[in-house]
Amino acid sequence: MTDLTDSIPGGDRLARQIRFLVETDRLKAVLRRTYVIGAERYENSAEHSWQLPLAALILAEYAGEALDLPRVLKMLLVHDIIEIDAGDTYCYDEAGALDKAEREGRAAERIFGLLPADQAAEIHALWTEFEAGITAEARFANAVDRLMPLLHNYYTQGRSWQEHGITADRVLERNRQVGKASATLGVLVQALVDDALARGYLAPAPEG
């Protein structure tokens, strides 16, 4: 593909912004472990990164704290861009989690570094805030990031859970953050897990 960024009017700043946007298109090729509802395929990380801001916009009224909603939306739009280099680490993959922070940190430096310095710093800060999960905005963003895969699994009859041998206790532990950010959504998580168990979508915790 021809790279025209060197001849783009606006100088180096616009050229760097266009290079970054072109690079982010690669996120569409990163596959997750959750299935698209109503389709026989995995969702990709770009689809996930679109749906989360939409979910946050719709569900923000249930947040347990006052939110700067535009900041939440920005955070969710950029939180998985690092997967272009680092790949999607399945949330129940204990081995993959060991070097996840290192892989993603390197990816953040390279990919965000494509941007002009001011925008690189802003987006890197948003990504770091999301990962730390300390602010009200980051807590709610992380809650939505957990809730949507739960909904995908529930509405695909637990397909991914069953393929990976995931039990109810692990799902509840993974989604504990949801209840911390929103009591209402925490109750929803428990109801979905209970119903998934009753329907056989999800296996119970092993005995002993």
pLDDT by residue (tens digit) across 152-188?
999 999 999 999 999 999 999 999 999 999 999 999 9
d(CA 138, CA 131): 8
pTM across the whole model = 0.92
d(CA 127, CA 105): 10
DSSP tally for the chain: helices H, then strands E: 12, 2
8 A C-beta contact, residue 119 and residue 34:
no
Token look-up 């996120």 returns 27
Token digits of residue 155: 């509405």
How many degrees, rounded to 5, is the angle at CA 144 between CA 202 and CA 154? Answer: 20
8 A C-beta contact, residue 164 and residue 203:
no
Q: Which CATH fold topology does 11-199 show?
A: Hypothetical protein af1432 (1.10.3210)
Token digits of residue 29: 């090729």
How many CB atoms sit inside 10 A of residue 118's CB? Answer: 9
Task: Tell me how far CA of residue 139 lies from CA of 33, 46, 65, in angstroms.
Answer: 23, 21, 10
| 63-73 pLDDT, tens digit each | 999 999 999 99
Res. 98: pLDDT tops 90: no
Domain regions of the chain by residue span: 11-199
Instruction: Give the list of residues 6+ apart from residue 193 with CB closer than 8 angstroms, or none.
Output: 150, 168, 171, 172, 175, 202
Entry field: residues in the chain: 208
| 126-157 pLDDT, tens digit each | 999 999 999 999 999 999 999 999 999 999 99
8 A C-beta contact, residue 167 and residue 205:
yes
> Residue 101 — pLDDT band, cuts 50, 70, 90?
confident
Query: Over the range 137-152, which residues count as b (16 or more CB within 10 Å of their CB) and which as e?
Result: bbbbbbbbbbbbbbbb
- C-alpha 58: how far from chain center: 16
8 A C-beta contact, residue 67 and residue 137:
yes
Host H or E run for residue 107: helix 100-112
